[in-house]
């Protein structure tokens, strides 16, 4: 390692406990963006991030939006070095169901080498690694080898509605050579990874409305369409028993996997029995002709997320319900157009709806899938940084989840994103007992510190 990096490593070792203490302080703030009762706490979390960045020597500002504020910070003192934009979010998911937590979600508890709290991995702990690495460079060396900008938002868990507006309005201020996001996971315990692809998503809701009120199913049943039966039949037509989505044209633009990529996926360690055991399932199911990793990372899906309708209380109630609703989401893969998928999904539902029912359809904002260049010098820098910090070269993976901002960075700022996840998919994100390994927190912080160094090394190659 180079002398400055040695000093940074030493500083991080000496300040490991303080960094964990700061993370716990951050995790105590219940910054639940979805619930307006917590508005004040969400702002308190933004202010906490602002103060941390200011303490690292960043110029920093809370930028007001129509929703929660965005923290924008920058430390740009190297006119000839690359500029990195770090994105993260300080908001968290609601902690419900509360009775499933072993310790309260906003009272961080350290046990078995992990910190347990809502937001531990998603995304407070992961995001803080980059703040702490900047602080280490600043305090141990005096300045950073690269320019770093931070965009830390408070609305990721509710759809990032104001982020694109912010990036478009402040395009120049956000200009950079590469973006860095730590909001994914390692491939598995002891297997660090870089994620070079994410699926996109579209989400919608369909309601079938029948009679103006619930009816006696003996008196009227059989003479008109039952909205709940009709909805189940409709959603039953979406995917066949081979896992193939039946919406006409759905696969037209899908970018097929290359032989090389399939082989690379096959070379990753994967034990189907362990996978199923973790999920409490006895068999896999999915599109015929694809492996589990291929299905999760590189094939599109159509999932019903929930259905509402009819009588769901105790005991029987013999009615023809007046309406039924389903929430549906599709995960998208590269080259699929979110807008077009929404349109063909709506058309399919309308074409297959039984007569006499009124169908209403709403869709929310979606995002397209992303694939990042794996042969860039930035990618090589990230690989080297992770190898130094984790003692092992990262595997290259794709992920099935979605991070809408990555496509926005490409569109608005014309940059790729390095998705450097320090967490594990088993960290219970969005679930009770969310956790983050303290070892991963420290390794991630060191990897971030090494990344600033490696980006300069690879920049001049």
Contacting positions for ligand BES (CB under 6 A): 122, 156, 183-185, 201, 399, 401-404
Query: Shortest Cβ contact with Zn ion: which residue?
Result: 122
Is the CB of 286 or the CB of 401 nearer to Zn ion? 401
CB of 252 to ligand BES, least distance (A): 23
- Owner of token pair 């919608």: 204
Is the CB of 122 or the CB of 454 nearer to Zn ion? 122
* CA distances, 235 to each of 5, 12, 361 (Å): 56, 53, 13
Residue 399 contacts Zn ion per CB under 5 A:
no
Interatomic CA distance for residues 61 and 46, integer angstroms = 10
Active site residue 157: no
* CA distances, 451 to each of 132, 297, 405, 455 (Å): 13, 26, 21, 6
Is the CB of 41 or the CB of 368 nearer to ligand BES? 368
Q: Which does 399 bind (CB under 5 to 8 A by kind): Zn ion, ligand BES, none?
A: ligand BES
Query: Shortest Cβ contact with ligand BES: which residue?
Result: 401
Is the CB of 60 or the CB of 332 nearer to ligand BES? 332
CB of 449 to Zn ion, least distance (A): 25
Q: Which does 185 bind (CB under 5 to 8 A by kind): ligand BES, Zn ion, none?
A: ligand BES
Among the listed residues 155, 156, 183, 434, the single catalytic one is 156
Q: Which residues pair with 417 in a beta bridge?
A: 179
CB of 310 to Zn ion, least distance (A): 32
For residue 42, give every residue at least 6 positions away whose Cβ sits within 8 Å of its Cβ, in sequence order, or none: 31, 32, 33, 68, 90, 91, 154
Is the CB of 136 or the CB of 185 nearer to ligand BES? 185
Among the listed residues 22, 41, 91, 416, the single catalytic one is 91
CB of 444 to ligand BES, least distance (A): 15
For residue 263, give every residue at least 6 positions away whose Cβ sits within 8 Å of its Cβ, in sequence order, or none: none
Is the CB of 69 or the CB of 423 nearer to ligand BES? 423
Q: What is the DSSP string of 197-259?
A: EE-EEEEEEEEEE-SSS-EETTTTTTSS--HHHHHHHHHHTTB-TTS-B-STTTTTTPPPPPH
Interatomic CA distance for residues 369 and 331, integer angstroms = 8
Task: Classify 327 as helix, strand or coil.
Answer: strand
CB of 209 to ligand BES, least distance (A): 27
CA end-to-end span of the chain, whole Å?
Answer: 18
CB of 254 to ligand BES, least distance (A): 19
Rounded-to-10 torsion of CA 443, 445, 368, 157: 110
Is the CB of 185 or the CB of 418 nearer to ligand BES? 185
CA 41 to chain centre: 22
Is the CB of 229 or the CB of 408 nearer to ligand BES? 408
Q: Are the CB atoms for 287 and 299 separated by under 8 Å?
A: yes
Interatomic CA distance for residues 394 and 385, integer angstroms = 10
Interatomic CA distance for residues 107 and 184, integer angstroms = 24
Q: Could you tell me the two tokens for 205? A: 């809701």
Closest CA to 446 of 13, 51, 118: 13
Q: Which does 22 bind (CB under 5 to 8 A by kind): ligand BES, Zn ion, none?
A: none
Q: Are the CB atoms for 187 and 193 separated by under 8 Å?
A: yes
Active site residue 337: no
CB of 44 to ligand BES, least distance (A): 21
Task: Classify 179 as helix, strand or coil.
Answer: strand
Closest CA to 337 of 367, 365, 299, 361: 367
> Using CB atoms within 10 A of its CB, is residue 158 exposed (0-12), middle (13-18) or buried (19+)?
middle
Q: Could you tell me the two tokens for 159? A: 């759809």
Q: Which does 396 bind (CB under 5 to 8 A by kind): ligand BES, Zn ion, none?
A: none
- Please list every residue from 113 through 142 that binds Zn ion, using CB under 5 A: 122
Q: Which does 386 bind (CB under 5 to 8 A by kind): ligand BES, Zn ion, none?
A: none
CB of 272 to ligand BES, least distance (A): 19
Number of residues that bind Zn ion (CB under 5 A): 1
CB of 360 to ligand BES, least distance (A): 22
Residue 435's CB is within 10 A of a number of other CB atoms, namely: 25
Q: Which does 402 bind (CB under 5 to 8 A by kind): Zn ion, ligand BES, none?
A: ligand BES
Is the CB of 33 or the CB of 402 nearer to ligand BES? 402
Interacting residue ranges for Zn ion, rule: CB under 5 A: 122
Would you name the residues annotated as active-site residues? 91, 156
């Amino acid at each position: 390692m180079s002398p400055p990096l040695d000093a940074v490593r030493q500083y991080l070792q000496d300040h490991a406990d303080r960094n964990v203490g700061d993370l716990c302080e951050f995790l105590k703030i219940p910054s639940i963006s979805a619930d307006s009762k917590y508005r004040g706490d969400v702002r308190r979390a933004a202010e906490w991030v602002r103060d941390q960045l200011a303490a690292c020597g960043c110029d920093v500002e809370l930028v007001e939006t129509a929703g929660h504020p965005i923290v924008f910070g920058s430390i740009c003192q190297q006119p000839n070095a690359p500029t990195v934009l770090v994105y993260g979010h300080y908001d968290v998911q609601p902690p419900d169901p509360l009775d499933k937590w072993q310790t309260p979600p906003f009272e961080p508890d350290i046990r078995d080498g992990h910190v347990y709290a809502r937001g531990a991995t998603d995304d407070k702990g992961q995001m803080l690694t980059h703040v702490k690495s900047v602080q280490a460079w600043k305090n141990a060396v005096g300045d950073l080898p690269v320019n770093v900008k931070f965009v830390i938002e408070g609305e990721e868990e509710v759809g990032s509605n104001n982020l694109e507006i912010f990036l478009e309005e402040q395009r120049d201020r956000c200009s950079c050579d590469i973006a860095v996001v730590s909001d994914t996971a390692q491939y598995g315990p002891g297997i660090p990874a870089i994620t070079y692809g994410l699926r996109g998503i579209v989400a919608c809701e369909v309601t079938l409305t029948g009679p103006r009120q619930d009816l006696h199913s003996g008196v009227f049943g059989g003479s008109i369409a039952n909205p709940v039966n009709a909805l189940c039949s409709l959603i039953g037509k979406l995917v066949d028993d081979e896992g193939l989505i039946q919406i006409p044209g759905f696969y037209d633009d899908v970018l097929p996997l290359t032989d090389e990529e399939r082989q690379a996926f096959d070379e990753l360690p994967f034990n189907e029995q362990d996978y199923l055991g973790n999920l409490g399932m006895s068999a896999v199911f999915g599109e015929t002709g694809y492996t589990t990793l291929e299905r999760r990372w590189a094939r599109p899906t159509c999932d019903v997320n929930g259905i509402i309708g009819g009588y769901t209380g105790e005991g029987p109630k013999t009615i023809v319900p007046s309406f039924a609703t389903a929430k549906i989401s599709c995960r998208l893969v590269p080259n699929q157009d979110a807008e077009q998928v929404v349109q063909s999904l709506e058309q399919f539902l309308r074409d297959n709806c039984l007569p006499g029912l009124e169908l209403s359809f709403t869709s929310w904002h979606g995002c397209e899938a992303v694939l990042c260049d794996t042969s860039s010098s930035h990618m090589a820098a990230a690989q080297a940084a992770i190898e130094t910090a984790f003692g092992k070269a990262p595997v290259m993976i794709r992920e099935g989840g979605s991070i809408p901002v990555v496509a926005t960075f490409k569109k608005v700022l014309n940059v790729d994103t390095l998705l450097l996840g320090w967490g594990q998919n088993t960290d219970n994100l969005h679930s009770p007992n969310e956790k983050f390994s303290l070892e991963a927190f420290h390794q991630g912080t060191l990897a971030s510190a090494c990344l600033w160094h490696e980006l300069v090394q690879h920049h001049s190659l």
